[in-house]
Structure 1
């Protein structure tokens, strides 16, 4: 057999800051830490949009959000443009998914031979109210994040257990009847996405007196920026916490969910190795975006700070030297060429990403990574480029931000406000313009959303549709707020 198998494991809303291998001293993630030690860890990995549906569509197609028009959670992937799954299918390779996809639905040609326990957007339409951005409406469902926080069980916990068990069974069956070509298995969990509910055995790993409060929560810490202020006024999760203890409960639950996720990953990788498949399988772990987890009083995602746009990304397998830490910026776009290269298949030359296997060996250290956001609570398009030590954030029609992540990893000093940084600021804008015209992209996103709103009966009809805190797990009813 030419090429390696690929086991790609994805989680939902896992900030790379909350993992032992990325330096968190409290969280227990022994299985992710072991994967990182056995292979490569990417220190500067990003999603391409800090919200689920666009991020996953970009990951699937290997293309930027503005290239595919999956602007927000009401523009789900529906099989076009072709994904890496389609490329593998054309090559005769088996490609299955288990768990969350967040596409339009399983009746679309999504690129998988089998969608096992799939989770797609609600009713095939998704969060339509998120398209209302001028101005964005309040979202009563935000109060449920704080209201749910604590120990217990949830439909997401149960769903992840079923995904884990199905993946273990799939790997055992693959070992028993090996194909003559490499296979790809995409396993996609929902944790640690809220509801912030952790099973007792995982929640209790984190006593409240040991759990850190989020950073930058004083009034003077919040960035003086109109776009971020508008985002915070709509995504007012933090306003619904009673006190500091309540905040610590939420953080402990998130930590517990990360440890629960880690345990599920460990069981799957153990099943792979026990089945004798480990030596010829590239294992990759990443998340669709991060979580602010109370930093700057933001929860969830939706901005370009490291907590939200940064993701963990580790890989182990053939051709990957152990113990390698890679500083070169990467993103989920790079998964497409990585999977194809690992499996011995040709990679489309027009894809904007590059293989993580080659980047880990030193390819293109000066590359630029782009993330963009056109979704819920954003009054304009937001674009982030990471290059070298710098992060440049462009808010179309508003002033930018600039951070030196080596000197200021907490992103507390906005260099865009300092005249001495003019040259670096200009370099960030130049790199963004080399990828896309943010003004054109912003106008196109608003135009596409306006057309979709009209198709759904107009703005008032979209308002009446309500909103919900998260996509329900299969079999769960949505918690609609109006």
Structure 2
């Protein structure tokens, strides 16, 4: 095979609004994700992966550019990617790759998406707002000529079929394919989770994560369909792996599986994301293929922003100096590195918020007088959330303002400000939460001597 002068193919398998605890490697007992679990176990599992913005468009801007949403300006939905933005497609194209995009884009101003708003991708079969252009059994995308294309089958299968055709047609060239599913995102106009026929019934009242069991939200209504969608996505991943194996491409293809954000099922606010909670910000993520096999489980805090430079590094492409994430390849190779001890999250639309997540703690602030749709950042914030994830992994007891945790909050505040400055933001003033009595809760002297 003359394939590619040893350049690996690259496929990004991107889901929408998928909680990490839908996967078997994160403890889900329903067997929804055997293919994801396998690539995580045989490849490299990024156990602690967090979105840098828990809403669709901003998270996608970060993954395409390797820069924070406040840097590109795409801090909320509805702001298109600036036309001069350099995306992963540009870097792979410059390195001799064919580039393709299939599915949901959510970074354009127009529908169909014109050439100049496609982020540099050569092959195009996509919709800017797939949740509006299609339904579960009515998949409508647009091609390179902006012509409407209706694909047969359940939406996950329709997109997977298109991806298989793309792979089959590009066996002799190195290719970079971004495959962006809508599932398991809700169908907007009906506010439900339409699984393939017969799938929802398999998972009704089978397993409810503890945060949803405690807080409810819309999970009794929606969890069965949501799980059914996750199951079909994993079957699609299995079909892609089978395709690559049958074409003798599997050993020379890097696969990244991840999602843009999670889903708290209306337990933390009036919709499904846009909060600093684990259910909103923590996502499944794994790499498979050359450079990642037997990489094991990585426990460091990894951001969605770290995935673009990782893809470039794994393909042997120089990482642009302006990218604000960092490659995880040193972690995969178990090299010494000064990896950050926290993940940094910006939150928009529902609030102007910022948060960090350490191994043990979650600390979040908001700008109470600003509108998260109109304002991207603030000079003044107030503490709103503090969770001890060691004692309270499902974030059911907010410790913000408890006086015995003041030392912890002050340390986390300083670390948050440092991360905000590193992201290009102005150093803010952060006001403490309203003090309240501790009751029995306190941090021991021994714990205060340890790193937070």
* TM-score after normalising by structure 1: 0.73
Match of 2:297 in 1: 325
| Among candidates 115, 125, 129, match of residue 117 of structure 1 | 125
Structure 2 partner of 1:215:
211
Written as runs of structure 1 = structure 2, the 5 A alignment for 1:249-398 is: 249-296=221-268, 299-322=271-294, 324-362=296-334, 363-375=337-349, 377-378=350-351, 381-396=352-367, 397-398=381-382
The structure in which a higher percent of residues are helix is 1
Could you tell me which residue of structure 2 aligns to residue 169 of structure 1?
A: 165
2:184 corresponds in structure 1 to: 192
1:222-241 equivalence runs, <5 A: 238=217
Partner residue of 2:148?
Answer: none
More strand, by proportion: 2
Contact 2:22 2:32 in 1 (8 A): no
Instruction: Measure how far apart 1:415 and its partner are.
Output: 3.3
Runs of 4+ off more than 6 Å: 438-443
1:65 aligns with 2:69: yes
* Range moving further from structure 2, 433-442 or 74-83: 433-442
Alpha-carbon offset, residue 100 of structure 1: 1.2
- 2:179 alignment partner, SS class: strand
Gaps of 5+ in 2: 141-152, 188-192, 368-380, 429-452
Cα deviation, residue 216, structure 1 = 5.6
CA drift of 1:401 comes to: 1.6
Q: 1:357 to 1:172 in 2, by over 3 A?
A: same
Alpha-carbon distance in 1 for matches of 2:359, 2:333 = 17
Instruction: Give the C-alpha shift of residue 343 in structure 1.
Output: 1.4
Contact 1:98–1:187 under 8 Å retained in 2: yes
CA distance in 1, matches of 2:209, 2:316: 47
Shift of 1:404: 2.7
Q: For structure 1, which runs of at least 5 residues remain unmatched after alignment?
A: 127-147, 223-237, 242-246, 444-482
Distance in structure 1 (CA, Å) of the matches to 2:385 and 2:194:
34
1:103 aligns with 2:107: yes
Q: Structure 1 residues 96 and 213 mapped into 2: Cα distance closer, same or farther (>3 Å)?
A: closer
Matched-pair contact (CA < 8 Å) for 2:156–2:232: no
Contact 1:36-1:323 at 8 Å conserved across structures: no
Pairwise CA distance, 1:337: 0.7
Moved more, 390-399 or 289-298: 289-298
Deviation digits for residues 148-169 of structure 1, max 9, x if unmatched?
9xxx856597333221001111
User: Paired residue for 2:79?
Assistant: 75
When residues 278 and 335 of structure 1 are mapped into structure 2, their CA distance, relative to the original with a 3 A threshold, is: same
Q: 1:158 to 1:79 in 2, by over 3 A?
A: farther
Q: Give TM-score scaled by structure 2 length.
A: 0.77
Determine if contact 1:18/1:27 at 8 Å carries over to the other structure. Answer: no
Whether the 8 Å CA contact 2:274–2:348 is kept in 1: the answer is no
1:354, CA displacement in angstroms? 1.3
Contact kept? 1:94, 1:184, Cα under 8 Å: yes
Per-residue deviation, residues 167-209 of structure 1 (Å, max 9, x unmatched):
111112222xx12xx4211111110000211112322322x34
Provide the C-alpha distance between the structure 2 equivalents of 1:154 and 1:194, rounded to a whole number of angstroms.
Answer: 15
- Relative distance call for 1:298 and 1:16 in structure 2 (3 A) is farther
- How far, CA to CA, are the matches of 1:154 and 1:170 in structure 2? 21
Which one of the candidate residues 410, 415, 419 is aligned to 2:394? 410
In 2, Cα distance between the equivalents of 1:82 and 1:315? 23
8 Å CA contact 1:154–1:197 kept in 2: the answer is: no
Q: Which has the higher contact order (CA 8 A, sep 6+)?
A: 1
**d(CA) in 2 for partners of 1:409, 1:190:** 28
1:378-409 CA-partner distances (Å, limit 9, x unpaired): 2xx11111233322212133323222323321
2: CA distance, partners of 1:440 / 1:328: 24
Aligned partner of 1:433 in structure 2 is 417
RMSD: 2.9
Alpha-carbon distance change, 419 to 88 in structure 1, aligned in 2, over 3 angstroms: same
Instruction: Judge conservation of contact 2:17–2:262 (CA < 8 Å) in 1.
Output: yes
**Shift, 1:442, TM fit:** 11
CA gap 1:350/1:113 in 2 versus in 1, 3 angstroms: closer
Residue deviations 1:40-75 (CA, integer Å, cap 9, x gap): 111211111111011101111101111111121121
Give the equivalent residue in structure 2 for 1:19: 23
CA drift at 1:329: 0.7
User: How far off its partner does 1:31 sit?
Assistant: 1.0
